[in-house]
Every structure is written in C-alpha cells, then in structure tokens.
Amino acid sequence: MRKLLFVLVLVPALAYAQTLTRDGVTLTPAQEARAEDIGSQLRCLVCQNESIEGSSADLAKQLRTIIRQQVVAGDSSKSIMNYMVQRYGIFVLLMPPFMRLTWALYASPFIGIILGFFGYWLMRRTKAEAPAPLTDADTRRLDELLK
Amino acid sequence: MSPLRRRLLFGIPLALAVAGGEGFYIILRRMQQNDYDPHALPSPLIGKRPPAFNLPGADGMQGFSNTDLLAPPKPMLVNWFASWCMPCLQEAPMLMKLAKTGLEIWGIAYQDHPQDLANFISTNGNPYTRLAADASGLTAINWGVYGVPETYFIDKQGIVRWRYAGALTDDVVSGTLQPLLQKYA
C-alpha cells in the first residue's frame, strides 16, 4: 500500500519535473508544445514559405529561442505574436488577420462562388419550346408525304 | 439564348483574360523597372523612430544608440551589413560613392567577427561616419531586419522614411533614394 502511494505521488511529479532543451532554452513539454504552436503560425522571413518552426535559417533559430524565452517567462501567445508583428509586420503571420489589405483574399472564395453561379446562369440551356400540335390540314399533308 | 446573354457569355471571359493579362503586364513591367519587388516587405518601422538600442563601436570607430538618431542635421542612412554577406560586397562601391557625395551613412555590422569586419573595411573602403557592431543580432530583430544588407533612410526628425532590403543599385539610388533626399532635405 505504501509502495502504491509512493508511485502514485512520485510518477506525476516526475512527469512534471521532466524538462527539455530546445534552441538553448530549457522548458517543460507543455511549454515546448505552446512554443511550437506559436512558431508554426509565424512565417520565416528568410525563406518566405516556411514557418519559423520548420526553417533552418539562422534568423528563424534565433526567433525560436526568443519565443521559448517568452513562453518560459509566462507571456501569453497573443503577446508573443504581437512582439513579432511589431517588428516584421503582418506578413510574419502565416494566417493574416482580416483587415483592409486582406479582405479581398478572404472574400475571394465567395466571389468565386457568385461568379460560378452567374456563369451557370449564363450557360444554362433553355429547353426549346414544344412545337404547336399539328392541325388537321398538317396531318393530312404529312400522311400524303409519308405515303 | 437572348442576345444579352450571348454577349455576356462571350464578353466576360474575354474581359477577364484582358484584365488578367494587363495586370501581369503591369507587374512584370514594374519589376523590370525595379519599381516593384514581390519579395520586398513593408517595414513596420516606417513613420516611426528606431527602437531603443545602444551598440558598441566596431573597428576602432564610434558606436551609437537610438538617441544619436533623434535629430540628424540632415537626412542620413543606417546601413546593416556583414563581411560574410555577398550582396554587401556588391553594395560597397555604391556606399563609397554615396558617402563621397556628402551623404551621412552609419553602419551596423550584423553578427560579424571583429577581424573579418576589419578586413572587409580595409579592402572595400569605409563609407561610414560611425560603425557599430550588433554581435548578437538582437538589435536587428528589434529593427525588423531579416537579412543583410538593409538600408534605412532617416529624416531630420529622426523618423524612418524608407527601408530597402538588398544591395543598393544605381536604379534604386536614382529612382528612390535621390527623390527622398530631395523631399526630406
């Protein structure tokens, strides 16, 4: 019983005490997960289609260190993002906010759908009107011709 | 099919193709004229003063802090560079030429070794009135520098008016820098 209690108390404590070191900063797995989450939402400005988390550029490595330091210091994810935007502008965000510069980007799928419906309306085929029923004279003439 | 629909069906794709072609043509022509760079990023520092920093001098020259940039007697440039950067080497003659015209240029060596920096300056000349070293690169991050060379134009109020990322070329100097110098003289 005492052993069980020992395990129950110490194992979670061990898990909590477990730390790792990434980019020169020592942090807990939970802090590392938060840092990775932030870093993967930020663009590496050196190789512009990679995230800071995924890039091997020196600047990205330095920014990863800064993110981890701020995470360890307890800064909110939002304030860390703001830190980056203040320095590099909204281009640093892989998911840009909705604003005057970006509204067209966000509206483009809807504009596309509207244009698609418009195109469909333009191209739709109208069924040809059924011809008027034959008169008696027409029937007689037809019979004559088909003889 | 009504004549209006027929006309729209024919006209809209044609108009879209023409507009798209015109757009690409304008982009390509402006890129050719060095008027537009799709990789260039607008600097958040434009319209503001540089953030607080205090960097030591390098290569026996005087360093500087943000307070030294508060009110230059005339518009000036702050040039971020490094001895290990190829475009900086290409840019060096242009900086010398600009310095000879009396333009004040202050340099910041980004993550450089003192010896390499000294060699770079003695080989390529020294266009800088002051030369500071940002060994850690942390001041660069506060400025939003994402590569070297980068050049910042600072007016007489100490406000950043323009940032150019990349080596200054004849086109950039005559097309953008000279007009700025006149505007903020």
Instruction: Show which residues on chain B lie within 8 Å of chain A, measured between beta carbons.
Output: 1, 5, 8-9, 12, 39, 41-44, 111, 137-138, 141-144, 146-147
CB B90 within 8 A of CB B76: no
Per-residue confidence band for A36, with pLDDT thresholds at 50, 70 and 90: very high
Residue type at A24? Answer: G
ipTM of this predicted structure: 0.82
CB B116 within 8 A of CB B89: no
Cα distance from B100 to chain A (closest Cα, Å)?
Answer: 32
pLDDT of residue A7: 64
Reported as a single tens digit per residue, the pLDDT across B34-71 is: 778 777 788 999 999 999 999 999 999 999 999 999 99
pLDDT at residue A134 is higher than 90: no
Per-residue confidence band for A11, with pLDDT thresholds at 50, 70 and 90: low
Quickly name the fold that domain B54-183 has: Glutaredoxin (3.40.30)
CB B78 within 8 A of CB B53: no
Phi, psi of A67 (to 5 degrees): -60, -45
Minimal CA–CA distance to B149: which of B118, B185, B112, B182? Answer: B112
Higher pLDDT residue, A1 or A21?
A21
CB A97 within 8 A of CB A54: no
Reported as a single tens digit per residue, the pLDDT across A50-107 is: 999 999 999 999 999 999 999 999 999 999 999 999 999 998 999 988 888 889 999 9
Give mean pLDDT, residues A125-145.
Answer: 85
| Angle, helices A77-88/A58-72, rounded to nearest 10 degrees | 140
> A130 CB contacts (<8 Å, ≥6 apart)?
none
Query: What's the alpha-carbon Rg for chain B, to the nearest Å?
Result: 22
CA distance A23 to A63: 9
pLDDT of residue B174: 92
Per-residue confidence band for B2, with pLDDT thresholds at 50, 70 and 90: confident
Q: In sequence order, what are the beta bridge partners of B130?
A: B106
Q: Are B147 and A66 a contacting pair at CB < 8 A?
A: no
